[in-house]
Amino acid sequence: MNVILVEPAFPDNQRQFARALHQSGASVYGIGERPQEFLDDELKGWLSGYLQISSVTDAGALLDAVRHIQRKVWVDRLEATVEAHIMPVARVREACTIPGTTVRTAHLCRDKIAMKATLREAGIPCAESAGVDSVDAGRRFAKQVGYPLIVKPRSGAGAADTARVDNDAELELALRRAGAGSGHSVAIEEFLEGHEGYIDTITVDGRVQMEFVTHYYPGVLEAMRTRWISPQMVTTNRTGEPGYEEVREMTRKVISLLGIGTSATHMEWFFGPKGLKFSEIGCRPPGVCQWDVYCAAGEFDIYRAWANAICHGDCRTGPSNRYAGGMIALRPDRDGHISGYSGVEELQQRHGQWIVHAHLPPPGTPTQPVEAGYMANAWVRARHPDYDGLRAILDDIGRTLKVYAR
């Protein structure tokens, strides 16, 4: 099988998709923005060919590169795993008649307003939402739904450029910052109270073959706006218990309604006073290298499972479910440069056998702002056979391991 992988070198974990495809027996052809000499020998060894283009989000340039490869070999699949690449790759895929995620599916997984409208019409419970292109339209929505509200890009990922607004003044400021006052369409939706999490799958021909449920502590918006919080993402090994039936069933309905075939998926959800509510879905893996947590907790190679799904229509191997897994982000006490840490040896003595990986940037490293995300500064990954035991360990890490800056 011949598979084109878009941008195999960046971000760093992209190389794992190239490795896994190669190990699954595919001939892998990379298209990326970096010169070939930028690629290390190991990555080059997994690739049967590589083309550099100016931008992998430029559908025209990408189309020319794919057709160049097609003139040399039969292309069975064209794959992308980064959110910003999904739509241009879908357009090129259809233009070149290569199987995979369609333009319709990519659009519905990218445009939050179209996504929720399609699912709401089919009976999937979602937050009230709309696309607005002016401050007046936003005010009308606020009058109808009430505060608090969320304002965010129609095609963003995670909490990027997302704002909670609690009154007319905050709404107007958020809409103008997002470009609504200049005629750009912006997503505005009801703020949902409750617990937030996500469910990730590997799906073959629309059938879920593998799934993982992860919980946020606290919710993403609060975590990405509050320095003193050490936010956690914790993946349960209790997915088969009755409490998860509803979210697992919703996932399968959403995948079917949006026409997702053979793909990784990442679906966010809320559960609160109004019950289970769909938030959004992407037809790609989760961010922040969460698949590495699944590998450690599941004692298997999820990248290889994904590649087997692409190449052979079957994941073949799955997780052991012996461990719950999670990560905790640790923020420096101020912006500047890392000056040091405390609590590291103490935590190693208490929890060393459960800590999978710790990323502690050396002193002198410039800090990143809180809103830069879970992996922007220091972080720790851990696993434990008991979900509640893992949560206690991550809580202890958050209390004990301090990151200092100056």
Q: Break the chain into its structural domains and give their ranges.
A: 2-100, 128-190, 195-405
Low-confidence stretches of the chain (pLDDT < 50) are none
Q: Regarding the domain delimited by 195-405, which CATH topology (the fold level of the hierarchy) does it fall under?
A: D-amino Acid Aminotransferase; Chain A, domain 1 (3.30.470)
Classify domain 128-190 by CATH architecture.
2-Layer Sandwich (3.30)
Give just the sign of the alpha carbon dihedral 80, 53, 292, 393.
negative
pLDDT at 319: 97
Contact indicator for 9, 38 with CB cutoff of 8 Å: yes
Burial of 273 (0-12, 13-18, 19+ CB in 10 A): exposed
Class of the domain covering 2-100? alpha beta
Identify the three-state secondary structure at position 271: strand
Amino acid found at 91: R
The pTM of the full predicted model, rounded to 2 decimals, is 0.94
Locate the DSSP E strands across 14-84: 27-32, 47-52, 77-79
Q: Pick from 118, 184, 136: which is nearest to 156 by CA?
A: 184
Contact indicator for 294, 281 with CB cutoff of 8 Å: no
Cβ-Cβ contacts under 8 Å for 65 (sequence gap 6 or more): 31, 51, 53
Q: How far is it, in rounded angstroms, from Cα 339 to Cα 214?
A: 32
Q: How far is it, in rounded angstroms, from Cα 29 to Cα 49?
A: 5
Please provide the size of the chain in residues. Answer: 406
Is the bond into 369 cis (omega within 30 degrees of 0)?
Answer: no
Crossing angle of helices 59-70 and 86-95, in 10° steps, is 50
